[in-house]
Amino acid sequence: GNSVTQMEGPVTLSEEAFLTINCTYTATGYPSLFWYVQYPGEGLQLLLKATKADDKGSNKGFEATYRKETTSFHLEKGSVQVSDSAVYFCALTPRAAGNKLTFGGGTRVLVKP
Amino acid sequence: NAGVTQTPKFRVLKTGQSMTLLCAQDMNHEYMYWYRQDPGMGLRLIHYSVGEGTTAKGEVPDGYNVSRLKKQNFLLGLESAAPSQTSVYFCASRGTGGMNTEAFFGQGTRLTVV
């Protein structure tokens, strides 16, 4: 079946530190991959996406590269801010079921000033 | 630009009571979803719909029912609430533009069953 595995949090960082959140997936074929972010008290919103191997998604200083060889989609940001404190979810839509969206467990990130 | 609206935002139920959560979207999306979010479990799909009049089971459908009588609304019902259904519930909608299409989420309903 389709599944997404993320590193468990919480991840606590100081402002301006480098952030990496690991995400690996299992899917039939080549899925589309997404990172969603949930700020405190809010619903999820799309952060970035990648639709084929070697694609790089980017937004708000965050980047993630679709790695088919390692079935990974790790999220990175070079210099985090306090406002980046949130829960981050990796997700996929499988090619064979374009209406499904499967999420990982989420990683809570706390950035301290 | 309301997007996806969930009502209510908070609710406390006694065990055995019933309730309905309403999700409304104004983006003319075909696909709608109900997820529950629990600590350490991420988002798990309860039920979903691929169009008006259709529903399908997700990963954790037991204890819930859904209806999609109108395209813009997706209702989630709990017939006899149990403490295990204490959770935060999110509704989402998505267009039919293919597997790359963004999903839009409501702000969630925090349900406590005592």
Min Cα distance B42 → chain A (Å) is 4
- Which residues have CB under 8 Å from B97's CB, separation 6+? none
Q: Which residues of A touch B48 (CB under 8 A)?
A: 99-100
Name residues of chain B where pLDDT drops below 50.
none
DSSP characters for A1-31? --EEEE--S-EEEETT--EEE-EEEE-SS--
The answer to whether residue B21 neighbours chain A at the CB level (below 8 Å) is: no
Is A46 in Cβ contact with B42 (below 8 Å)? no
Nearest CA of chain A to the CA of B86: how many Å? 17
Inter-chain residue contact A31 with B100, CB threshold 8 Å = no
Interface residue B102 vs chain A (CB under 8 A): yes
- For the CA atoms of chain A, what is the radius of gyration? 13
What does the pLDDT look like over B37-61, one tens digit per residue? 998 778 999 999 999 999 999 999 9
Q: pLDDT grade, residue A28 (50/70/90)?
A: confident
